[in-house]
Amino acid sequence: MKKAVLNAVKLNSLKPSLPRIGSPELKSYSPDDVFFCPEESQFYSQCLEKMVLSRCEAFEQVIEFGTGDGTPVISGLLKTRFAGTIHGYELSHSACEVAQNRIEQYQLTDKYKIHNHCFFEGYKATGADYLIANPPYIPAPDNSIYMPALHGGVDGATITNKLLSVGCQTVLLMISAYSNPVETIQHAIDEGYSVVDFMVTPLQFGYYSSEPKVRDWITKLREENKAFYSSNIYFLAGVLFQHKSAGETDLSTELIKVITAL
């Protein structure tokens, strides 16, 4: 049993080379430059589809922190009748290039607009009511890690918490069980949010979280009750936060129970 687990982690830890469809010469991008974790991106897409895109009213404005290669939103747009606009902000030029290519390929240019700069510098002008993100949540003492743009601060929750302070009415965030989730949920409540819905998936430690420096740091966080996982998996939750309104059911207690269960 142990051997099988080790093999699974090893396989996931192999540095993948990424063939990208869409550009004329079928370019390859390093996973240290363009985020690559299909299991996680697919789960983010499912959460988007169920909790945001199929519930949005017509012509709603959505802002996205960290577009990556654009696959999660593109896939969600292709499966729903969302009629608004999504503005995606992404630091990596390569990721924007891939995303823009795919958006054009699927003829979604009027629905998904990519901005190649920092989210925190660009979002204010949009006045959007929805904020969506699979944010950087890798905890580490500093950002000298495989992909520095995935650094989520010392406890992994710094950017997540910052996004919960932006002031959007509705926020969909991926929250990792090894990135101080309890304090993040408490922070959301302090900012006036309720947890109105959530979905949870088990994930194996992959390329980014298996980097020895990161893995050792996550072990330390566990001793401080800031990381929850088993030898096989950790939980990733897609959480829909909404500014409190009277009578709204708040699922934060249930979410904490699930995300800290391992």
Strands 170-176 and 85-89: unpaired
Q: Is 66 in the site for ligand SAM (CB under 6 A)?
A: yes
Q: Is 44 in the site for ligand SAM (CB under 6 A)?
A: yes
Closest distance between ligand SAM and the C-beta of residue 52, in Å?
A: 13
Identified binder of ligand SAM from the candidate list 9, 91, 199, 233, rule CB under 6 A: 91
- Three-state SS for 81? coil
**What is the C-alpha to C-alpha distance for residues 34 and 27, in angstroms, rounded to an integer?**
12
Region near ligand SAM per CB under 6 A, out of 24-32, 83-91, 193-201, 246-254:
83-91
Identified binder of ligand SAM from the candidate list 75, 134, 180, 184, rule CB under 6 A: 134
Q: Is 233 in the site for ligand SAM (CB under 6 A)?
A: no
Identified binder of ligand SAM from the candidate list 82, 112, 119, 193, rule CB under 6 A: 119
Residue 236: name the closest of 162, 181, 182 by CA: 181
Cβ contact 56:105 at 8 Å:
no
**Which residue, 65 or 193, has its beta carbon nearer to ligand SAM?**
65
**What is the C-alpha to C-alpha distance for residues 136 and 127, in angstroms, rounded to an integer?**
23
Closest distance between ligand SAM and the C-beta of residue 259, in Å?
A: 18
Cβ contact 238:51 at 8 Å:
yes
Neighbouring residues of 55: CB distance < 8 A, sequence distance ≥ 6? none
User: Which residues are at the interface with ligand SAM (CB under 6 A)?
Assistant: 35, 41, 44, 65-68, 72, 89-92, 95, 118-120, 134, 136, 149-150
